[in-house]
Amino acid sequence: MHRVYLDNNATTPVLPEVFETMRPYFDERFGNASSIHHHGQETRAAVEDARESVAALLGCTAAEIVFTSGGTESDNLAISGWVAAGDHVITSSIEHHAVLHACKHLEKLGCEVTILPVDGRGIVDPSDVLRALRPNTKLISVMMANNETGVLQPVEEIGKIASESQVLFHTDAVQAAAKVPIDVRKLGCDALSISGHKIHAPQGVGALYVKKGTRIQPLFHGGRHERSRRAGTENVPGIVALGKAAQLAKEGLDRGDDKKIAIMRDRLQQGILAQVDETAVNGKGAARVPNTTNIRFDHIEGESLVIALDLKGLAVSTGAACSSGAIEPSHVLIAMGLRPDQARSSIRFSLGKQTSESDIDFALSLVPETVAHLRAISPRYVKQAVST
């Protein structure tokens, strides 16, 4: 069966060059990067090269990069690494659960948390950040790009507010890395999270940028790995892969690959809007990462559309989470003001480096007929059509 994958915000395939670079570190070059003999020196050098490549992608020094097991760990390290009972934290209602649930946990430890709203486009207002500041505010955590809508947040303005108020600023850039240029100095952030599997490296590796001079409490206690910021033997193959993926991402951004992806994304989006009525783009009017579009198809269940498209070979997703057997509408779309039924009828299409024009043609050939079919068999749609 011909299959097209447009769910790159969930995870990306490991690029062949990335795989070839990491492969020798499973067998030929297997040393523990902390060992002083030849085998350890070999892998230590590879880890430090990878650190340089990740630093080059983010615009920082290699010493400011801490390797982790992924985006979730990076977010948790940044959030719990600086905050103690009695401190106040500001975050937003559209964050990934890695941030929102980490903040909820802080509340249990005696911290205060303010969760800021977003507007209808899904954007946090920096003046809300300013108004939320308190004398005990320790940390602001606002993401760079949202995983469901791709909407970019005004992180530079928020970084300025944070530094003027002497409050630490963390941004979750898991969905921004490799899609838009990142310069941590320009952002004025103290910590920034990335994840390997969103940028064509494997699952289970990530990094946190921690600004020089900001001491962070580790999540794990053990050896002095990663300058005592993350204990545990380094995942050398994963780190080598992340370094290669970061290098390829930087080269791609320098070449303008992001513009090519944006053109394909826009063709997909416009094609769908032109062929299917009663649709809308969630996050319309906001600056977005180039690979993502989130479209609402009124009168259908997003889950049904995902399944129907999957049966025909197209992989897309909803932002909905399945908890205790019930489909919860996306907290991001609800925060943007959508009704639960509108949130449930929304689908995310996310392109990757491997997406081709023919993949877009395939999606455009399937989506309109599949939506039409689901609406035709939906009692909800018939009722709606009669009453309007």
Q: How far is CA 323 from the centre of its chain?
A: 21
One residue of 206, 237, 243, 319 binding ligand PLP per CB under 6 A: 206
One residue of 7, 64, 87, 172 binding ligand PLP per CB under 6 A: 172
Q: Phi and psi of 312, rounded to 5°? A: -100, 0
- CB 97 to ligand PLP: min, Å: 8
- CB 170 to ligand PLP: min, Å: 12
Total residues in contact with ligand PLP, by rule CB under 6 A: 14
User: Scanning residues 52 to 71, which ones bind ligand PLP (CB under 6 A)?
Assistant: 70-71
Q: Where do we find the tokens 């025909």?
A: 312
One residue of 21, 76, 147, 293 binding ligand PLP per CB under 6 A: 147
Measured distance CA(60)–CA(211) in Å, rounded: 8
Kindly write out the interface string for residues 15-54 of this chain, putting x where it contacts ligand PLP by CB under 6 A and - elsewhere: ----------------------------------------
Q: Does 143 bind ligand PLP (CB under 6 A)?
A: yes
The two beta strands, 112-116 and 346-350, are unpaired
For residues 73 and 203, the answer to whether their CB atoms sit within 8 Å is no
- CB 155 to ligand PLP: min, Å: 13
Give the relative orientation of helices 71-80 and 97-108 as an angle to the nearest 10 degrees.
30
CA distances from 243 to 51, 55, 201 (A): 6, 9, 9
User: Scanning residues 96 to 115, which ones bind ligand PLP (CB under 6 A)?
Assistant: 96, 98
CB atoms within 10 A of CB 379: 7
Question: Which residue stretch of 117-125, 169-177, 261-269, 345-353 sits at the interface with ligand PLP (rule: CB under 6 A)?
Answer: 169-177
Tokens of 161: 């507010």
Kindly write out the interface string for residues 117-136 of this chain, putting x where it contacts ligand PLP by CB under 6 A and - elsewhere: --------------------
The two beta strands, 321-323 and 326-328, are antiparallel
322 included as an active-site residue: yes
Kindly write out the interface string for residues 181-200 of this chain, putting x where it contacts ligand PLP by CB under 6 A and - elsewhere: --------------x-x---
Give the relative orientation of helices 38-58 and 236-255 as an angle to the nearest 10 degrees.
30
Q: Which of 152, 158, 246 is nearest to 196 (CA)?
A: 246
Hey, which residues are catalytic here?
A: 322
Sites of contact with ligand PLP (CB under 6 A) = 70-72, 75, 96, 98, 143, 147, 172, 174-175, 195, 197, 206
